[in-house]
Amino acid sequence: MSRTKWILTVIGIVIVALILWRIFSGHGKAQGPGDFGANAPVPVTVVPAADQNVPVYVTGTGTVTPINSVNVQPQVGGTLLKLDFVEGKPVTAGQLLAQIDPRTLQAQLDQAIGKRNQDQTQLATAVANLERSENPKYAPYVAQIDKITQANTVAQYKAAVAADNAAIDSTKVQLGFTRITSPIDGVVGIRQVTPGNVVTTSTTIVTVVQMHPIDVLFTLPGKYLDEVRNAQQKAPLKVAILDANGNVVEADGTLKVIGNQIDADTNTFQLKAEFPNANNQLFPGQYANTRVEVSIDSNALVVPTAAVQRGPNGDYVWLITDKPPPGSSASPDSSDKTGRGRRSARKDAPNSSAADNKPAKYVTMQAVTTGGEAGDTGLIVTKGLKTGDLVVTAGQFRLKQGSKVTPMKPGEIPPPPTTAQIKAAMSSGGRGGRH
């Protein structure tokens, strides 16, 4: 390697080393946009905890079930001539759905009518013979046994005519079954046969389901049984159907039936609710998330759902306070063994929001106990807060215990940095670069 290349290589190594030292050195950390001092307040959105009248719900899962569902099957066998419905369309009770070839049954009807005519003629002859035998003019000349035989013959033909009438009526009924009609108002499904098939009494032609109204069968945990029963005794409970995102699909359901036993395996009990289903939102067999309103919680303490965070020790919120929480880095009594903590706190004091004459605000991690949902965007807090407490709903990711914050209302934009903050940032950056 020539001397020139060796010198260039050494220079390159030195330059890379300087760059790496600058990047990884804590003194060379650049100030990010809006980072005006290490102790600058963090802008956060806050909402006060408020008392509300909140409906109390219990939720469960279930299945949409039609009140009536009919598998349309022929009551007589024969060749299917035609189908008179459109798959998936509504039908009314009594509407013609299918036609079976009626010729065989029509011939049987004609035969039964002919047999009755024959028996009626024989009955008329038997009646005439009996009347003549009982006539006083002929009675002395007719044996008693002949009169008995003629009376029995009349009774026999009367029975035959009655049987013929029954056979005719039966054949007419069977003939009527060749016209298959819908037994209910509803919606037809997909046909199971086509014209030309020979169908029997076990063949399903199509299924008709009732859509209006419609039922939802669902279950609730057994612990809610007494609460639901007591509420149902006061007034019919309202039931709503929710989609996968928790949005209401149908809200006009009414609880109709509470089951009479608890499943020992799942510790749940069954309920049935009825929905008008005017917009056909509910479909038979559909999975349904249900929500039953069991009571109204008066003056419940409510915070936005976004305010409640999940931690290893349970739920908590970031609570706005006027003073730093004890033990935090911003607390006046916090210090390390050398006392640098107290000196640092005094040094950062000018960076507070005193420039706009507003006292500094801080946050503390406040454990809370929640008691259920309050609508779609709220949670009931049963322990840990009081009415009017300000909780953080946006900006939590930048917070730690004792962080100094600038509380803002929902939709409010943080104010631009003051001159003092800009000078403090520049001064801090300059000192960092000289170390």
DSSP state letters, 68-132: -EEEE--SS-EEEEEE---TT-EE-TT-EEEEE--HHHHHHHHHHHHHHHHHHHHHHHHHHHHHH
Query: Which H helix or E strand runs over 194?
Result: none
Cβ 275 vs Cβ 253: under 8 Å: yes
Cβ 189 vs Cβ 209: under 8 Å: yes
- The DSSP line for 22-66 is HHH-GGGPPPPTT--STTPPEEEEEEE-EEEEEEEEEEEEEEEE-
For the segment 74-85, what is each residue's pLDDT rounded down to a tens digit? 999 999 999 999
CB atoms within 10 A of CB 101: 14
Cβ 51 vs Cβ 148: under 8 Å: no
Mean pLDDT, residues 242-269: 92
pLDDT higher for 15 or 160? 160
pLDDT at 152 over 60: yes
pLDDT at 422 over 90: no
Give the pLDDT score at 349: 43
Give the amino acid at 381: V
Per-residue confidence at 347, pLDDT binned at 50, 70, 90?
Answer: very low
Q: What's the mean pLDDT when you consider all of the chain?
A: 84
Q: In this predicted structure, which of 43-57, 66-80, 244-258, 371-385 has the lowest mean pLDDT? A: 371-385
CATH code of the domain made up of 56-67+210-297: 2.40.30.170
Question: Cβ-count burial of 290 within 10 angstroms (0-12 exposed, 13-18 middle, 19+ buried)?
Answer: buried
Q: What does the alpha-carbon distance between residue 381 and residue 299 come to, in Å, rounded to a whole number?
A: 11
Mean pLDDT, residues 98-118: 95
What is the DSSP code (8-state) at residue 322? S
Q: In this predicted structure, which of 153-162, 313-322, 416-425 has the lowest mean pLDDT? A: 416-425
Per-residue confidence at 222, pLDDT binned at 50, 70, 90?
Answer: very high
Enumerate residues 6+ apart whose C-beta is below 8 A from 285: 63, 64, 65
Q: In this predicted structure, which of 2-6, 59-63, 115-119, 408-412 has the lowest mean pLDDT? A: 2-6
Domain with CATH 1.10.287 in the chain: 103-177
Mean pLDDT, residues 244-267: 92
Cβ 290 vs Cβ 238: under 8 Å: no
Q: What does the alpha-carbon distance between residue 424 and residue 24 come to, in Å, rounded to a whole number?
A: 23
Q: In this predicted structure, which of 61-75, 125-139, 264-278, 325-339 has the lowest mean pLDDT? A: 325-339
The three-state DSSP-derived secondary structure of 214-242 is: EEEEEEEEHHHHHHHHHHHHHCCCEEEEE
User: Is 103-177 assigned to CATH 1.10.287?
Assistant: yes
Q: Could you tell me the two tokens for 169?
A: 């009526």
Mean pLDDT, residues 339-347: 44
Q: In this predicted structure, which of 202-211, 367-376, 398-407, 412-421 has the lowest mean pLDDT? A: 412-421
The strands making up 179-181's β-sheet, listed across from edge to edge, are: 179-181, 96-100, 78-83, 198-199
Per-residue confidence at 200, pLDDT binned at 50, 70, 90?
Answer: very high
Give the pLDDT score at 34: 43
pLDDT at 26 over 50: no
Q: Which long-range contacts (CB under 8 A, 24 or more apart) does 11-19 make?
A: none
What's the start-to-end Cα distance of the chain, in Å? Answer: 39
Residue with tokens 């038997």: 126
Query: Of how many residues is the chain composed?
Result: 435
Give the amino acid at 125: T
Mean pLDDT, residues 321-338: 67
Nearest to 291 by CA among 380, 369, 212, 218: 218
Q: In this predicted structure, which of 8-17, 265-274, 334-343 has the lowest mean pLDDT? A: 334-343
Q: What does the alpha-carbon distance between residue 252 and residue 255 come to, in Å, rounded to a whole number?
A: 10
pLDDT at 92 over 90: yes
Task: Give, in degrees to the nearest 5, the angle at Cα 44 between 393 and 32.
Answer: 135
pLDDT at 195 over 50: yes
Q: Could you tell me the two tokens for 132?
A: 């003549």
Domain with CATH 2.40.30.170 in the chain: 56-67+210-297
pLDDT at 28 over 50: no
Give the pLDDT score at 17: 72
β-strands 404-408, 314-321 pairing: unpaired
Per-residue confidence at 392, pLDDT binned at 50, 70, 90?
Answer: very high
Main-chain phi, psi angles of 228, to 5 degrees: -70, -45
Q: What does the alpha-carbon distance between residue 255 and residue 232 come to, in Å, rounded to a whole number?
A: 8
Q: Could you tell me the two tokens for 86?
A: 């459109």
pLDDT at 342 over 80: no
Chain-centre distance for alpha carbon 185:
26
Q: What does the alpha-carbon distance between residue 330 and residue 168 come to, in Å, rounded to a whole number?
A: 102
Give the pLDDT score at 48: 95
Q: Could you tell me the two tokens for 137?
A: 């003019």
